Amino acid sequence: MDPKSVDKNVVVQTMIPWQNREQWMELQLSIERICDGIGEDTQAITGLTENIRTSYSAVDAQLQELCEKTCSLCSDVCCMRATVWYEIRDLLYLQLAGKSFQETQVSREPDGRCCFLLDNGCSLPRDERPFICTWYICAAQKALLQEQGEAGELLISRIGEIQESRKNLEEKCIQAVLPV
């Protein structure tokens, strides 16, 4: 392996927050406390969580199909080079949707690949990946989406809806636990 690429991997690895197991466990406890402290006015939060869940489900097959058409031919696999991690919005959704946290924050293997990447692609269900993994559409896939016309536009719009719902979910959670 090129020593320069190892150095680069070390640098980008240090950008990922909550990598230490203790920090990860503490963060998990904090997210649990926030969600437990939401109180009784949960209608909006439940609605947003459900929106995110159904939107992920609605985009999954189309994104999978795009991957099947492009990823096996790709010479610059994004999951081998991207620096991604779970952020607070991801974790709030996982907790509120009743999903388990992974045992660790996303990390990079020594060769730079994401720790969740297997030979046949990502090992995580769509809505358990960091959102950025769904948000990112590479150039090859964008070109295919353009050919799909309205169906392609709908996919982008649904991903935008997930993004908006995640933002609103975080805001609602903060409002719900702040002292009045």
The distance of closest approach from Cβ of residue 5 to ligand SF4 in the complex, given in angstroms and rounded to an integer, is 17
Task: Please name which of 178, 26, 5 lies closest in space to residue 101, comparing C-alpha atoms.
Answer: 26
Residues 15-74 close enough to bind ligand SF4 by CB under 6 A: 67, 70-71, 74
What does the alpha-carbon distance between residue 115 and residue 130 come to, in Å, rounded to a whole number?
13
What percent helix, strand, coil does the chain show, rounded to 5? 65, 5, 30
For the chain, count helices (H), then strands (E).
Answer: 8, 2
Binding residue for ligand SF4 (CB under 6 A) from 25, 77, 97, 156? Answer: 77
Single out the residue of 34, 45, 52, 114 in contact with ligand SF4 (rule: CB under 6 A).
114
Query: Is residue 156 near ligand SF4 by the rule CB under 6 A?
Result: no
- Choice from 58, 78, 156, 177 touching ligand SF4 (CB under 6 A): 78
User: C-alpha distances in angstroms, 160 versus 5, 13, 102, 134?
Assistant: 34, 28, 25, 10
Query: Interface residues with ligand SF4 (CB under 6 A)?
Result: 67, 70-71, 74, 76-79, 82, 84, 106, 114, 116-117, 122, 124, 129-130, 133, 138, 140-141
